[in-house]
Structures are given as structure tokens and as C-alpha cells.
Amino acid sequence: MTGETQRQLPDTDFAVVEAPTTLSVSVRINGKVVTRDVEARTLLVHFIREEAGLTGTHVGCDSSSCGVCTVLIDGDVPVKSCTMFAVMAHGRDVRTVESLAVGGKLHPIQQAFWDQHGLQCGYCTPGMMMTSLALLGRNPSPSEHEIREGLSGNLCRCTGYNNIVKAVQQAAEMMAPSAAPEVSHD
Amino acid sequence: MTELKTEHEPPQKLAMGKSMKRKEDPRFLQGKGNYIDDINLKGQLYMALVHSPYPHANILGIDSSAAMDIPGAVAVVTAAELAAHGVGWLPTFHGLDKQMVLATGKVLFQYQEVAACYAETREAAYDMAELVDVDYEPLEVVADPFKAMKDDVLLRPDREAKTNHIYNWNVGDSAGTDAALAASDHVVREHITFPRVHAAPLEPCGCVAEFDAMGRLQFYVTSQAPHVYRTALFMVLGIPEDKIRVISPDLGGGFGNKVPVYPGYVCAIAGALVLGRPVKWIETRTENMTSSFARDYHMDIELGASKDGTLTALKVNTVADHGAFDAAADPSKYPAGMFGIVTGSYQFPHAFANLDAYFTNKQPGGVAYRCSFRVTEASYLIERAMDILADDLGMDPTELRRKNFIRKDQFPYQTPLNFVYDSGDYEHTMDVALEKIGYQDLLKEQAEKRERGELMGIGFSTFTEVTGAGPSKHFDILGIKMFDGAEIRIHPSGSGIIRTGTKSQGQGHETTWAQIVAEELGLDPQNFLVEEGDTDTAPYGLGTYASRSTPVAGGALALASRKIREKARKIAAHLLEVNEHDLEWKDYAFEVMGIPSKRVTMKEVAFAAYTNPGDNEPGLEATLYYDPPNMVFPHGTYVAVVDVDRETGETKVRRFLAVDDAGTIINPMIVEGQIHGGLTEGFAIAFMQEIAYDEAGNNLATNFTDYLVPTSLESPHWETAATCTPSPHHPIGAKSVGESPNVGSPAAFVNAVIDALSPLGVRHIDMPLTREKVWAAIRTAENESPAAD
Ligand code: FES
Ligand code: FES
């Protein structure tokens, strides 16, 4: 990075660009610790994509509106990773879409999105699935309304959401411990 | 692989018409999609653009010294530097105007690109863009096309024609229409605006440009039309086409937004050329929102009818706001695109459409946003007007439509505005919709609610779309005819590769194309690799937009498959030791006529093509370019049922049913998914999304907090159904569907809301029907008509 260079800042009241401060940041991503020296202002999403090389987490709005950058932090908290600095994730656990399929076998949420045609261009899909997982963690058998509410921070321009809702419903069924009695939340 | 067992089974479809799960999905589901920002080239620089805060201003000077002081700064490029390299202006796609790459002397709209900054990192590039000091002298702003037409301020002095008027386009019989209107029992007159909107795919545009060791441009870019880009880049930069490779990777949606060649692309290429390193540029959301638009049509309609509701004439006068450059993606012979479909699904003895386009200080573009070039505006207009007429005449809106539909025995149908519709059965489709939605029960419920003063509305749209932009006698982009190419190679083991000149942005081409070829050749669709988007390997084609992929590339694929089948027939004859004329293609194999036991499958032929082709040339492949004889005309009936809250103006879409007729359907699951998506975008247009400008020319919709797109919470639950009237001239009878829901649904939504408000005397409200607007309309109506309770 370019932290050392000394330079003259322009004489202005605004757009003052501080000399970038470089920090060492360690984040456990999908179980693997990634340590890098990054500028303090590096966003978590860029850390994940560029430093850890995991490009499944996307950027759509760079302003916390679209949710395509959603990852799970410390287990099950969905966070829009464009909204957080990488340093804020220092020492914490991050889970991205790349963690879902194990040994080439799709996770139930992935299988359900595939079965129900819950994706078209696929750009929103990783974030959508991570949010869905968090939702199912909180509420293993959500109603349609609860699903729609739970996903309302994630935009999709292609699918119109019907099939995403169905996918989450299917995933809920697939993930339910088969021994447990069915509980309806309607 | 399962062998085909067709001998003792009735003929059935192998692949077409089946809801096969998408082949492309596993990579997207695992985060392995390869989108533009996932591409990083060794040693690449990052580019950021400087945008004008002013909508109209002279540029007195640009000082980039502070920007160059940023650590990691490499270069700042302005129009002057580009001009030194012979680059300054871009041709627009229909070639009727040109567009500045970087502001040349003055800026013409807010957020116009003024300079490009190149740096070692993305952050440094943005820091630089902040510090480029541009000295602007603000000029008078013309943000309203009705003001622009006065020519008080000349916006484009660079053009020969010293006026803000861009073109006049008209079609139909003006005098006959006027006479018919004058003789009509009733004439509806209304001013209807279709507001400015943006396609807003979730993935913004972007590119990575590199000149390789051979001096060849490798251009990775978010493009719906890679081949046209290659030709356009030749035109702009003068680089021979063999020295340009355009690669369009996975696209995170497009909807028309990824058709234009944006100034940022040219700056990235120029940077890569001059600086000798790869350059990456990825749009911010704001850049994406301010780079292009769709719609912005201000339409005056006159619709004539006799007392019994028989239509007599239609006249439309439109003012189109094209912004700073005439960069509409329309084919050159159709400057207003397919707006001529404005007579819709109805028989009109007389019609006349007139359109004038103007420059304003707004973002340019005019993309075909999920619509076949202006057909959305046309459909909305006629479907809105039909409802107003029904209301005036006291007729049921479906009966008015039924009375005037083009009947199924009238196809092919020549409209008064120059289109020849291929096929349709409008009445049947509407009947299916009425039955499925339970229209009679809804009418009863509505009557009861009206008694109680509640506002419930039922809205219809019985639209006809025109898609498949292709007949080269009518269509071109940059002068290039709008055909599409398909290339199919069958490997010895019976698998194969399919390449087309189209480019999926989520439409599922990898699956759909495999299904078409599999059906034509009797092979397994799972064993086809589909490749698009690389101009080095794909055959020339005009790309994917305006619902043209299945009508044009789909036709090319079917015909290329049949070419392969003809060659295969010769090889099969050799294998079976018969004359090829004694063979018939039956149940996906070649069979000696009358001797069902003597047959060879395509798989066997494929192997023989490389091992034992007899006297035939070895190999089994075909390339074909398809120039369709006519466009295709899908249709549909959409019904919206809404409740409007009288106190708050809030609209709740209680039900929405879409019955589409897209001709032959290749993958019902994919089709249904596209309908859902299109309806959601139609819903957005009707109720929330708008690129609004204030009078000073400030763009008020530059991100997802100001430009609203629906979330899962407000999106209605969609109901769908299909009827099927195949296109008689298309090789597989397919029309298209991806854009129908976006074309057909805004009218259904608005008609439903106006129907709900009609007891108060409300006749029309322009979109988007926000709560505030509906609330205001209710209050005004109540104040104006004391009779209403
Ligand atoms: S990119 Fe993070 S919310 Fe849109
Ligand atoms: S699938 Fe394209 S944005 Fe959701």
C-alpha cells in the first residue's frame, strides 16, 4: 500500500484526504484466519473480496441498501459487509457463501434456491442465502410474511421474490430436525 | 446417460416444454459466478471518474495538480488529452447523434463525466477524483422538454441544426384519423406521462481493459451486446476489429442498462493504451443511476369511439425527453422504436402517431428497459385510454376490449401503424384470465364495498407486445442488421458446444439453448455446453435486449440444428446402407421408413461422423445466421385487484394474475420466473421508482434510498397462467416473454387504482402512484365533489 509518502494537502475546507493509516487486521473467514495490512478505511466487503480472494460476496450499491454483500458475523448475525470496516471485524468470525457447500455437496439453502428457481442473474443470491440462513437460525419455520420481512433488506431485481420465498420455505423443511414435531408459525 | 427409449412410446418432447433446472445455477449458488469485478489483471490500474455537479455549465479550466499529489496517482485525463489521441465523441447506437466521452468545453447534465483518474488502487483513484479542481461557469438550465422546444437556450451548439428539437417521427394516416375523430360519437382526450425510470440491475456496469503483448485489446465488459461493442470500439478508437476481443462475463442483471457503450469504457481503454497497463473501472451505484434512463414520454391521446364502444380512431402526440444526447437504443429506421404498436390489441380503422424528441439538461440514454424499444409506453397509453373510454361510456372494461379485439381469424393482421401481427387469440386469453381471477365474484365484492364507501379496484391490461427485433429490412444498430448467429458442434460422444451472439444476463440461456438443440437433435440437454459473450469464439449477433434472444437466436439455433440433422441424415444413410431419402426422422432417431427396427440415433451418427462417415465430410457442426421474416407478437391479459386506503392513500395489491401467451415455451420454470421478475419491475414503475429532476436540473434519484425498488415485503404475490398461440413464421413457434410483464403490468396496476378511485370521479393520475399522490387525488376529488361521502 501507499501509506508512507509525504505530500502536501490542498488548501481547502473540504475533501481533505487524510494520509492512509495502515493497520494489521485479522479476520477468521470461513474458519481460516486471514491477516493483512490494510488501510484503516478498507471496507469488510473489500477485505473479503480482495484480500481473502472470496468473490462470492458482491457489491451492488455501496450504501447499505441492496444486501448483496451480506455475510454472517460471529455465527449468525447478518451484516452488510459494505457497511463495516474490516478493522471492525478484527478478531471475529465471518461466514460467506463459499462456506455453504461442503465437499461439493450443496447446502440445503443452495439446493432449495436451485430447486425453486430462486435466482436468475445470481448477483443477489449469495447475500440472499446468507440472510435466509440467519433468518432460519432465528425462526426455523417462518411464515411467508416472516420470510418476506426477514429478507426485506436484500434486493433482487430479477426474480420478483416469489421463488425466493418458496426456496426459503423448502430450506426450512430440509433443515428441520426430522424428529422434531412440525410447528406452524402462521 | 439414459438412452432414448422411444420405440414403443408415443412421441413426446425430449427437452422442450420441460421445466428443467438451470445448468448455470450451481456456480452462482456457490459464489463462483464470474462477474466483472471478479476479474483482476496483473498490474492493473484503477480508474475513477470526475462528474459534474452542474447540469449545464462552461468548463473554464481543469486543474489536476492536487489530484496528482495523491500517493499512487498515475494520471488524469480530460477531453483535451482524449482529443490529442483522436477520441472525443462516441456514435450513439442508432447513429443519429454522437455523445461526448468526456465533457468538451461544457457539461450538459448533472453527473456528466469530466475527467478520468488512474491510480494504483481504487481508493487512490477516488481520492484523486475528489481533488480534480474544475472551474465551472453555470449556464441557464433547461430541464423541461416543453421549455426546450422554445429554443431560448440552445443546448447542443455542436450540431448543425441549431435547435433543441431532435427529430419528428410519425406514422399512419393523419387526415383520415382527424376526420374519423371528428365524426366519432365520443372522443377521449387525456394527457398521460410515462415517467423517467432506470433499469437498475444490482450489478453496476464496469470493465477491465488491457492491451496484450500482441497489442491486442482484451476488453472485459458488462455488455448485453459484445459483438456490437467490438464494432463500436473500432468506430470510436480506430482499432481494427481483429485487434479487439470483447468478453462479457456473467452479468448481474442488465434489463437494457448494459446495452450502451458508456464514456467510462472508452476512458478505461484510452488509459490502458496510453499508460501501458490494464485499467479497471467499476461504476458506483450513483454512476449507474445517473448514466442512462428509459421512458420519459409525455403523450396526448385522442381516442374515438361510437356510442356502442366500437373504436373509430386513435391519435397520439408525444413529446419525448431525450436528455443531453440522443443516445436512445432505437434502431435507426425506428427513431421512436416500436412505439407504433400503440394501437395495441384492437382494430382501428384509422390511427396516427406523432412524436417529437427534444434535448434537455438531463442524463442521456433512452435504453430499452425491459421493453422492446418504447413498447411499454405505447401499451400503457392504449390500455389506460381504453379504461378511460370504458368509464366514459359506462361499459365494463373487459366488454369494451372484447368488442374491439383483433379476432383470431384476422391474423396475420395489418395494423394502421405498419406492423403485421403474426398470430394471437386475445379473447381466449382474456377469458382464461377472467375465469382464473373470478371476475364475477370480484365485481360483486366491489359493489358491496362501494356501498360502504371502501375503495376497491380491478384493473385490466390486454396488451400486445412486439419483440424479436431482427428483420434486417427494418432493424439495425450502427447500421448493422439485427440478425443473430448460432454455432453448434457435436462431439464424437454425442455431447456438444453451443455458441450464440446473444448474452444472458440471468435469462437462463445456458439451459434454454441446450433444450432447443437437444430437442431438435435428440440428444441430452445436460451434455451441451453453452458459451456466449466472447467475440473470439461466438458467432456475430446483435445481443440480448428487447426480448430478442429466443425469437432471433432461438430461431438460429433451431435452424442450425436442422442443418446438422441434414448432414446427420447422410451419415445415417451410410450406416444403414440405404438411400437418405428412405430415412425419416422419427422419435429422435433416423429410421428406415416402415422398418422401425432399422434406426440409428444421433449419438451413433455423431460417433460415425468422426470414425466412419462414408463419403461424407467428417465432423458434425453448423453455423447459421438467422434473419427473421417478421417480428413476433406475444400478448397477454393481466388483472390487478387493489384496495386503496381512503384515509392514507396507500394501495395494497391484493391479487395479481398474469396470463401470458408467448407462443411455444421452452422452459416453463424459466418463463414463470421471468414473468415474476418483470411484474415486480412493472409494480415498481407503477408505484415507486422514478428518476425525478428538480427545475434546476438536479437529479433526485441517485441511489437506492431515493430511487425506490421493491423489496420482498412490498412485492405482491404473483399468479401466472399461460395460453399458447405459436408464431407461424418462427422455426419453433416461440415468441418471447421476458419483457411482457414489464410492458403489460403498469397499465393493469394503474387501471386498478383508478378503478378504485372512480366513484370519487378520479380519471387519471400519472405514475408513480405513491401514497402521497393517491392521497392528494382523493382529497381533491372529495373537496370537488361534495356528493361523494
Ligand atoms: S453493497 Fe452492501 S448493501 Fe449494497
Ligand atoms: S437474481 Fe438477479 S438480482 Fe436477484
The residue ranges of chain A whose pLDDT is under 50 are: 1-10, 12, 179, 181-186
pLDDT at B457: 98
What is the SS3 assignment for B602?
helix
Only one residue has cell 484466519, namely: A33
pLDDT digits (tens, 9 = 90+) for B635-667: 999 999 999 999 999 999 999 999 999 999 999
The yes-or-no answer on residue B384 being catalytic is no
Q: Return residues 70-89 of A near B (CB < 8 Å).
A: none
CB contact under 8 A, A117 and B670: yes
**What's the B766 CA to ligand 2 centre distance in angstroms?**
29
CB count, 10 Å around CB of B183? 11
- Averaged over B356-360, what is the pLDDT? 98
Res. B222: pLDDT tops 50: yes
pLDDT digits (tens, 9 = 90+) for B718-746: 999 999 999 999 999 999 999 999 999 99
CB count, 10 Å around CB of B479? 12
The CA distances from residue A145 to A149, A155, A159, B580, in Å, are: 6, 16, 17, 62
End-to-end CA distance of chain B: 70
* A59 Cβ below 6 A of ligand 1: yes
How far apart are the C-alpha atoms of B315 and B174, rounded to whole Å?
8
CB count, 10 Å around CB of A149? 15
CB contact under 8 A, B204 and A60: yes
Residue of chain B whose alpha carbon sits nearest to that of A2? B71
Res. B62: pLDDT tops 80: yes
% of chain B exceeding 70 in pLDDT: 98
Return the closest-CA partner of residue A163 out of A116, A96, A105: A116
Does A65 contact B at CB distance below 8 Å? yes
How far apart are the C-alpha atoms of B40 and B42, rounded to whole Å?
7
pLDDT band at B4 (very low <50, low <70, confident <90, very high): very low
pLDDT band at B94 (very low <50, low <70, confident <90, very high): confident
pLDDT at B477: 85
Q: Are A167 and A113 in contact (CB under 8 A)?
A: yes
Mention every residue, 6+ apart, whose C-beta is less than 8 A from residue B281.
B46, B47, B48, B49, B206, B207, B208, B264, B265, B267, B268
pLDDT digits (tens, 9 = 90+) for B317-350: 999 999 999 999 888 888 999 999 999 999 999 9
When CB atoms are compared, the residue of A5, A97, A113 closest to B71 is: A5
Which of A164-173, B364-373, B520-529, B594-603 is predicted least confidently?
A: B364-373
Mention every residue, 6+ apart, whose C-beta is less than 8 A from residue B671.
B660, B662, B665, B722, B737
The CA distances from residue B220 to A60, B455, B565, B578, in Å, are: 19, 52, 35, 51
- Which residues from A are below 8 Å from B257, CB to CB? none
Nearest-CA distance B713 → chain A (Å): 5
Residue of chain A whose alpha carbon sits nearest to that of B679? A160
How far apart are the C-alpha atoms of A62 and B589, rounded to whole Å?
54
Res. B200: pLDDT tops 90: yes
- Averaged over B396-400, what is the pLDDT? 98
pTM of the model: 0.95
Among residues B112, B224, B507, B515, the one annotated as catalytic is B224
- State yes or no: cis peptide before B412, omega within 30 of 0: yes
Nearest-atom number in ligand 2 for the CA of A157 is: 3
- Which residues from A are below 8 Å from B675, CB to CB? 160
Average pLDDT, chain B: 95
What is the SS3 assignment for B32?
coil
Dihedral sign of CA atoms A126, B33, A160, B720 in order: negative
Nearest-CA distance A8 → chain B (Å): 7
The yes-or-no answer on residue B110 being catalytic is no
pLDDT digits (tens, 9 = 90+) for B153-184: 999 999 999 999 999 999 999 999 999 999 99
CB contact under 8 A, A55 and B37: yes
Strands (E), B306-430: 311-321, 350-358, 413-414, 420-421
pLDDT at B785: 66
How far apart are the C-alpha atoms of B207 and B532, rounded to whole Å?
17
pLDDT digits (tens, 9 = 90+) for B291-315: 999 999 999 999 999 999 999 999 9
pLDDT digits (tens, 9 = 90+) for B567-602: 999 999 999 999 999 999 999 999 999 999 999 999
Res. B60: pLDDT tops 70: yes
Pocket test for ligand 1, best of A61, A85, A123 (most atoms within 8 A of CB): A61
CB contact under 8 A, B29 and A165: no
Cell representation of residue B131: 481533488
Cell representation of residue B627: 434473419
- Averaged over B355-365, what is the pLDDT? 97
* A1 Cβ below 6 A of ligand 1: no
Which of A96-105, B477-486, B598-607 is predicted least confidently?
A: B477-486
Strand B455-464 relative to strand B635-644: parallel, antiparallel, unpaired? antiparallel
Q: What Rg value do the Cα atoms of chain A yield, rounded?
A: 19
CB contact under 8 A, B131 and A163: no
Return the closest-CA partner of residue B413 out of B628, B631, B627: B631
Residue of chain B whose alpha carbon sits nearest to that of A103? B30
What is the DSSP code string of B363-375?
------TTSSSSH
pLDDT at B469: 87
The yes-or-no answer on residue B81 being catalytic is no
Res. B80: pLDDT tops 50: yes
The CA distances from residue B281 to A176, B125, B583, in Å, are: 44, 10, 57
Nearest alpha carbon, ligand 2 atom 2:
A121
pLDDT at B474: 84
Mutation to test the A interface, candidates B23, B29, B222, most A Cβ within 10 Å: B29
- Interface ipTM above 0.85: yes
Does A16 contact B at CB distance below 8 Å? no
List the beta bridge partners of residue B190. B301
pLDDT at A184: 46
How far apart are the C-alpha atoms of B691 and B199, rounded to whole Å?
11
Res. B206: pLDDT tops 50: yes
The yes-or-no answer on residue B370 being catalytic is yes
pLDDT at B764: 97
**What's the A63 CA to ligand 1 centre distance in angstroms?**
6
Res. B21: pLDDT tops 50: yes
When CB atoms are compared, the residue of A115, A125, A162 closest to B676 is: A162
Q: Number of C-alpha atoms within 13 angstroms, CB side, residue B71?
A: 13
The CA distances from residue B768 to B193, B195, B687, in Å, are: 10, 8, 4
How far apart are the C-alpha atoms of B331 and B470, rounded to whole Å?
10
Residue of chain B whose alpha carbon sits nearest to that of A160? B677
pLDDT at A179: 40
Res. B633: pLDDT tops 70: yes
